[in-house]
Amino acid sequence: MSEYVKWDLYEQGYGMITLYRPERRNALSFDMIEELQRLIRDARNLELKALVITGAGTETFCAGGDLNDFHADLSSQEAFSALYPMKEVLYELSRFPVPTIALLNGHTRGGGCELATACDFRYATEGSTIGFVQGKLGISPGWGGGAMLYQRIHPLKAYEMLVQSRVYSTEEAIQLGWLQGIIHEDTLAEDIDHILQPFLQKNLDQLIHFKQQYVKQQIPLSLSADMDDEVRRCSNLWGNEAHKEAVERFQKS
Ligand SMILES: CC[C@@H](C(=O)O)C(=O)SCCNC(=O)CCNC(=O)[C@H](O)C(C)(C)COP(=O)(O)OP(=O)(O)OC[C@H]1O[C@@H](n2cnc3c(N)ncnc32)[C@H](O)[C@@H]1OP(=O)(O)O
């Protein structure tokens, strides 16, 4: 159980998971990852028409892995064991039986971008920024979200986002095909309703069919092995000096 992940079930037929740790910019601790997995598994049995993932507060959707939990001083094997559970969460989320939507309520970094990528659709509040910044930390994405990015957007754009490792505006993220639209703080409830209505108006069998068709095309079983490979490669980079220095810099700032 983690007090930092909340679950809400809406009578219109959708569920919402909220990362609830705004003072740490919703960075994912080990406990939160375990709770996310439990909630996603339980939600499979609820006949939902959509699953939404968002973050608490107005600053950040998710700042990635909690850099205190995933500290730099781990052997490759230890890093692999620390990173792997979130790979499983992302893979299960990507194959969730009905549409999944990430509502990005602010900045999204590192593993936060991986979590959002595991959802089918992404919407962000105006002024949000998005960065697969792992390349600037001496590592590469470590939860399999990089491999998944290649399935979500044009491969060259995915490569560009990962290798540049820079922070993108919402407008740029729309152009890259990663973000589907922008929502507004002052009309948030209406905007969310507008996004969800097309799903909620369908019957469950239709939604399951559309999702299965997409999963068959874009989220093949073989993706799991590519994600494992990504976790392994990131684990091998974990102990390098550039990564240690980057994490130390962050912890001291
Ligand atoms: C481990 C998996 C790996 C992967 O596979 O991808 C990763 O995810 S690596 C992590 C990559 N993430 C980052 O490098 C993001 C780091 N955070 C930021 O860049 C910024 O915090 C932000 C997200 C842009 C928000 O900026 P701002 O609003 O100015 O907040 P602060 O920077 O002042 O942070 C407030 C508070 O939160 C703590 N914090 C933020 N991110 C993390 C984190 N990833 N892990 C742990 N703690 C985090 C930060 O230290 C501040 O704490 P206090 O100083 O105690 O208030």
What are the tokens at 45? 């049995």
CB atoms within 10 A of CB 41: 12
Q: What is the pLDDT of residue 183?
A: 97
pLDDT value, residue 251: 84
CA distance 48 to 93: 14
Largest CA distance in the chain: 53
pLDDT at site 253: 81
pLDDT of residue 44: 97
203-217 residue pLDDT tens: 999 999 999 999 999
Tell which one of 23, 25, 74, 253 to mutate to probe ligand 1, the residue whose CB is within 8 A of the most ligand atoms.
25
| Domain chopping of the chain, boundaries | 5-187
- Rg for the chain, CA atoms, rounded: 17
Ligand 1 proximity of 87 Cβ (cutoff 6 Å): no
Identify any residues that bridge with 52 across adjacent strands, giving them in sequence order. Answer: 16, 101
Topology of 5-187 in CATH?
A: 2-enoyl-CoA Hydratase; Chain A, domain 1 (3.90.226)
Q: Quote the CA–CA distance of 174 and 180 in Å, as a whole number.
A: 6
pTM (2 decimals)?
0.98
Q: Is 131 in the pocket of ligand 1 (CB under 6 A)?
A: no
Distance, C-alpha 139 to centroid of its chain? 18
- Residue nearest atom 5 of ligand 1, based on CA coordinates: 142
**Prediction ipTM score:** 0.98
Predicted pLDDT at 217: 95
Q: CA torsion sign, 227 to 152 to 48 to 182?
A: positive
Which residues in the chain show pLDDT less than 50? none
Tell me, using a 6 A CB cutoff, whether residue 230 lines ligand 1.
no
